[in-house]
Chain A
Amino acid sequence: SAVISQKPSRDICQRGTSLTIQCQVDSQVTMMFWYRQQPGQSLTLIATANQGSEATYESGFVIDKFPISRPNLTFSTLTVSNMSPEDSSIYLCSVGRQGNLQEQYFGPGTRLTVT
């Protein structure tokens, strides 16, 4: 499986500010995804990030709040904009396995606390 890294691993931010989370993969992948995991909860898909096209957002998530970039096949960023304490969560990127896109592998996550 691909090796996935995320930066930062954790951060504490003030409300009203924005944070950009980076996801780096050690091999080229077609599909990348961003998930949110609120404290003690399950994973919820924010959006699918596709290289060469705009991200596809799930219901309840909008581009103005969670802009996503996908400049190439190994890298993506998720920005959490105008943060509030309700944005405190773990943000995870995942990648689809090449040749078997249904398999997904997750990065270590970014733990965000908004004060």
Chain B
Amino acid sequence: GENVEQHPSTLSVQEGDSAVIKCTYSDSASNYFPWYKQELGKGPQLIIDIRSNVGEKKDQRIAVTLNKTAKHFSLHITETQPEDSAVYFCAASMAAGNKLTFGGGTRVLVKP
């Protein structure tokens, strides 16, 4: 089955700096890659996603890039703010209606 690895497990950045989280997946059949943000005591929130026919997608301060050949994708957060502090999860899915396989998560701390 699919295996998703996520790095780093923890990331501490100064407010205003950028944060980058990287994920690799094992199955080339995966075609959908969402990112979730989970704040303490809450369920994961979908913040951005990318499909295999696109190389990059942006939404304000967050962007995701995908390299299908290398089977890795990354989340970029620019101009980080304290409210960006949370645990971020990447995931991969192979087909419509299919399950999401999650990475191990990255705990991001933005220091004011």
A: which residues have CB within 8 A of B? 1, 4, 30-31, 33, 41-45, 48, 58, 92, 96, 100-109
Chain A CB within 8 A of B89 CB = yes
Chain A CB within 8 A of B54 CB = no
Number of residues on chain B facing chain A (CB within 8 A): 22
Q: Which one of B56-64, B65-73, B102-110 is at the A interface?
A: B102-110
Q: Which one of B13-21, B76-84, B92-100 is at the A interface?
A: B92-100
Q: Which residue of A lies closest to B42 (CB)?
A: A108
Closest chain-A Cβ to B77's Cβ sits at a distance in Å of 19
CA distance A48 to B98 in the complex (A): 9
- Determine the chain B residues whose CB is within 8 A of the CB of A42 once the complex forms: 89, 102-105
Query: Are B44 and A102 in contact (CB-based, < 8 A)?
Result: no
- The interface residues of chain B, by DSSP majority, are classed as loop
CA distance A12 to B84 in the complex (A): 31
Taking a contact as CB atoms closer than 8 A, the residue among A43, A100, A102 that contacts B89 in the complex is A43
Given the contacts A42-B105, A43-B89, A101 and B97 also touching, CB distance less than 8 Å: yes
Closest chain-A Cβ to B28's Cβ sits at a distance in Å of 17
Chain A CB within 8 A of B29 CB = no
Identify which of A31, A96, A104, A106 gathers the most chain B CB atoms within 10 Å of its CB: A104
A-B pairs, top 8 by smallest CB distance, nearest first, are A106-B43, A101-B97, A101-B96, A102-B32, A42-B102, A108-B43, A43-B102, A106-B44
14 residue pairs of the A-B complex, CB under 8 angstroms, read A4-B43, A33-B99, A42-B103, A43-B89, A45-B99, A58-B99, A92-B44, A96-B97, A102-B32, A102-B34, A103-B34, A103-B49, A106-B45, A108-B42
